[in-house]
């Protein structure tokens, strides 16, 4: 009897453990990745904005108009989306339009988008699946006239990169002292002439404390009753306020009264991103651009967790955008500030044969209460946060600043992505800024840190017309006197006043 009890005592727990692992394993192999994709049919506003770049307006600057029905899922992973039958191409300087047109025709395509300043082309094919489109891109790249070719991917861009409000609001606005903002007020005569670009949720053009220079270009599409919500109305206006809220506002920006050029970044194709960046840099001559957006969280986390397919995807996009920006960098000075992202601490579950390699499984998430199947890294690597974050070309890296978040205690925030790609830290906790038409709120995230640096770059460009992008980046990074440490890395902390003095020994005279 004792032996039976002993056997039962051993077998029952063993059976429970076996059933537990078997149930999770069955889900691993048979339950598809659970993923809350946005309802793109509700994003008509985003797609209406493509008409800004229609062929009827400029034959040397246009991209394909799309609707949500043009966005298709790749067979390899439902999270991987692209514009149906469409590829984007960067041509060599030696290629003429006719040369590229012939390449398109020889590959069964037609040109549906063209931006002359960037030697950028869109090709439209007919009835290709995802793998066939990839093969076409590879074949096109074999031409000596072509520098890069990839599918026109569609990025579901969280408008806040998971911005968080985990920090309790404070009233002291510590960041004015921390970033040495007050010392720049002597340049108040310059601020109204400063131009700043941003790709984000479009800024609320009814806000009286913000000067939206291009509001008439998108306000006709922007239904405030429909889009003025926590998702659409908050983020971009908050970011803009950090950079340029007027001196009369409750929380003046780094450059109060500066001209903000707002571009939509919610759920758009790579071609739209390229058109928007080119429009700012070549047509507006904007030199400082803020991007407080990032990849869907599956991408940076799975890349950090060594998913080969995801890293290849990121590298291919970054290589394409590097080739694109190389075209512009030869003739224009500009700095693009990227938020590092807020994915550190997030966990995913390993999935079977999916492109991004990891996913959130609703049932597995509930069953796996010991987190046996959970994958989590020490931190999420900022190198994989978004387009341009993994650029290797030094010439292009001189035009990019990746910004992490820190708080008033000079500690790197736990949510902020990290790694060697991060160039600098700036205040990102409890930032009080404009929202809606006439309100203010606190928010935390690397989205809030990046605009401090962007506005600083814009100010430096405005003080010295002859300064180069590399000099601006060096001034911002090398002028810092404090550092924060995280995961074995030391990051300089933004000091705006010091950055101004770094570029000139005569700052007082310039201000007078």
pLDDT in tens, 97-115: 999 999 999 999 999 999 9
Taking residue 373's Cβ as centre, other Cβ atoms within 10 Å add up to 20
169 pLDDT exceeds 80? Answer: no
Tell me if 341 sits within 8 A of 161, measured CB to CB: yes
Report domain extents, the chain: 1-30+348-378, 40-155, 175-344+384-511
What's the whole-number mean pLDDT along residues 186-193?
A: 92
CB atoms within 10 A of CB 504: 15
Please give the full DSSP string across 102-148, using - where no structure is assigned: HHHHHTT-EEEEEEGGGTEEEEE-SS--HHHHHHHHHHHHTSTTEEE
Q: How confident is the model at residue 159 (pLDDT cuts 50, 70, 90)?
A: very low
Contacts of 421 (CB under 8 A, 6+ apart): 340, 381, 382, 383, 385, 389, 390, 402
Q: How many CB atoms lie within 10 A of CB 262?
A: 28
pLDDT at site 510: 41
| Confidence category of residue 397, pLDDT binned at 50, 70, 90 | very high
pLDDT at 162: 45
Percentage of the residues of the chain whose pLDDT score is greater than 90:
65
Sorted by sequence, the CB contacts under 8 Å of residue 182 that are 6+ apart come out as: 176, 497
Instruction: Tell me if 148 sits within 8 A of 317, measured CB to CB.
Output: no
SS3 360: strand
Q: How confident is the model at residue 508 (pLDDT cuts 50, 70, 90)?
A: very low
Cβ 281 vs Cβ 399: under 8 Å: no
Rounded Cα distance between 254 and 188, Å, is 10
Residue 371's pLDDT is what?
A: 81
Q: How far apart are CA 89 and CA 63, in angstroms?
A: 12
- The rounded distance, in Å, linking the Cα atoms of 493 and 341 is 17
Dump pLDDT digits (tens) for 220-247: 666 655 554 444 568 899 999 999 999 9
Asked if the model's pLDDT at residue 201 lies above 70, the reply is yes
Q: How far apart are CA 423 and CA 402, in angstroms?
A: 5
Q: What is the pLDDT of residue 252?
A: 95
pLDDT of residue 301: 93
Mean pLDDT across the stretch 161-181?
Answer: 67
Question: What six digits make up the tokens of 119?
Answer: 């030697």
Q: How far is CA 309 from the centre of its chain?
A: 20
- Tell me the mean pLDDT in the region 304-318: 94
What phi and psi, each to the nearest 5 degrees, are found at residue 358? -140, 160
Instruction: Name the phi and psi angles at 107, rounded to 5.
Output: -110, 15
CB atoms near residue 336 (< 10 Å):
26
**CATH top-level class of 175-344+384-511:** alpha beta
Contacts of 215 (CB under 8 A, 6+ apart): 203, 205, 262
Out of 61-70, 421-430, 435-444, pick the least confident.
Answer: 435-444
Q: What is the mean pLDDT of residues 5-26?
A: 74
State the pLDDT confidence band at 507, using cuts at 50, 70 and 90. very low
pLDDT tens for each residue of 260-291: 999 988 889 999 999 999 999 999 999 999 99
Residue 161 has pLDDT above 50, yes or no: no
The vertex-19 CA angle with 15 and 25, nearest 5°, equals 145
- Residue 125 pLDDT more than 80? yes
Give backbone dihedrals phi and psi of 196, rounded to 5 degrees, phi first: -130, 130
Distance, CA of 191 to CA of 363 (rounded, Å):
54
Among the residue ranges 215-224, 289-298, 399-408, 415-424, the one predicted with the least confidence is: 215-224
| Structure token digits, residue 185 | 């007020």
Q: Are strands 400-406 and 431-435 parallel, antiparallel or unpaired?
A: unpaired
pLDDT of 458 higher than 80: yes
* Closest CA relative to residue 275, chosen from 115, 418, 152, 432: 115
Q: CB of 79 within 8 A of CB of 153?
A: no
Using DSSP bridges, classify how beta strands 348-350 and 374-375 pair: parallel, antiparallel or unpaired. antiparallel
Mean pLDDT lowest among 186-200, 203-217, 287-301? 203-217
Does position 295 have pLDDT exceeding 50, yes or no?
Answer: yes
Query: So what's the pLDDT on residue 1?
Result: 58
DSSP code, position 292? -
The mean per-residue pLDDT over the stretch 105-126 comes to 97
* 123 or 207, greater pLDDT: 123
The yes-or-no verdict on residue 484 having pLDDT over 60 is yes
Mean pLDDT to the nearest integer, 57-75? 93
pLDDT of 448 above 80:
yes
pLDDT at residue 257 tops 90: yes
Q: At what angle do helices 308-329 and 270-278 cross, to 10 degrees?
A: 20
Going by pLDDT thresholds of 50, 70 and 90, the confidence category of residue 5 is low
Q: Running DSSP on this structure, what letter comes out for residue 32?
A: P
């Amino acid at each position: 009897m004792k032996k039976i009890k002993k056997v039962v005592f051993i077998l029952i727990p063993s059976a429970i453990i076996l059933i537990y692992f078997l149930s999770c394993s069955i889900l691993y192999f048979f339950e598809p990745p659970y993923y809350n994709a946005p309802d793109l049919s509700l994003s008509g506003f985003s797609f209406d904005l493509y008409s800004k770049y229609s062929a009827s307006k400029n034959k040397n600057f246009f991209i394909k108009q799309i609707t949500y029905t043009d966005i298709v899922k790749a067979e390899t992973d439902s999270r991987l989306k692209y514009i149906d039958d469409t590829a984007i191409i960067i041509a060599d300087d030696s290629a003429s339009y006719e040369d590229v047109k012939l390449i398109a025709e020889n590959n069964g395509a037609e040109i549906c988008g063209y931006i002359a300043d960037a030697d950028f082309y869109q090709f439209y094919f007919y009835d290709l699946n995802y793998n066939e489109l990839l093969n076409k891109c590879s074949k096109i790249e074999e031409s000596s006239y072509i520098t890069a070719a990839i599918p026109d991917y569609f990025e579901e861009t969280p408008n806040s990169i998971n911005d968080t409000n985990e920090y309790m609001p404070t009233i002291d606005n510590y960041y004015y002292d921390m970033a040495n903002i007050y010392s720049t007020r002597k340049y108040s005569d310059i601020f109204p002439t400063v131009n700043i670009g941003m790709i984000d949720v479009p800024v609320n053009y009814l806000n009286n404390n913000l000067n939206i220079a291009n509001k008439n270009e998108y306000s006709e599409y922007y239904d405030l009753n429909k889009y003025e919500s926590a998702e659409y109305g908050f983020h971009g206006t908050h970011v803009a306020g950090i950079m340029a809220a007027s001196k009369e506002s409750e929380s003046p920006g780094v450059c109060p009264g500066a001209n903000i050029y707002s571009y939509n970044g919610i759920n758009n194709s790579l071609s739209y991103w390229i058109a928007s960046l080119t429009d700012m840099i070549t047509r507006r001559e904007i030199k400082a651009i803020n991007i407080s957006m990032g990849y869907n969280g599956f991408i940076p986390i799975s890349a950090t967790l060594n998913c080969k397919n995801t890293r290849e995807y990121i590298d291919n996009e970054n290589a394409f955008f590097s080739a694109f920006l190389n075209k512009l960098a030869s003739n224009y000075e500009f700095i693009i500030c990227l938020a590092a992202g807020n994915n550190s601490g997030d966990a995913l579950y390993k999935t079977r044969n999916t492109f991004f390699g990891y996913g959130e499984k609703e049932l597995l998430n509930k069953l796996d209460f010991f987190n046996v199947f959970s994958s989590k890294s020490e931190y999420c690597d900022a190198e994989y946060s978004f387009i341009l974050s993994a650029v290797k070309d030094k010439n292009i890296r001189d035009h990019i600043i990746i910004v992490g978040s820190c708080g008033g205690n000079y500690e790197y925030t736990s949510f902020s992505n990290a790694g060697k790609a991060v160039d600098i830290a700036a205040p990102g906790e409890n930032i009080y800024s404009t929202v809606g038409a006439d309100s203010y709120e606190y928010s935390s995230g690397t989205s809030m840190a990046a605009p401090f640096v962007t506005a600083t770059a814009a100010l430096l460009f405005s003080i010295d017309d002859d300064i180069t992008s590399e000099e601006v980046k060096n001034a911002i990074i090398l002028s810092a006197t404090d550092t924060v440490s995280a995961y074995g890395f030391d990051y300089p902390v933004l000091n705006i006043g010091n950055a101004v003095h770094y570029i000139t020994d005569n700052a007082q005279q310039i201000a007078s």
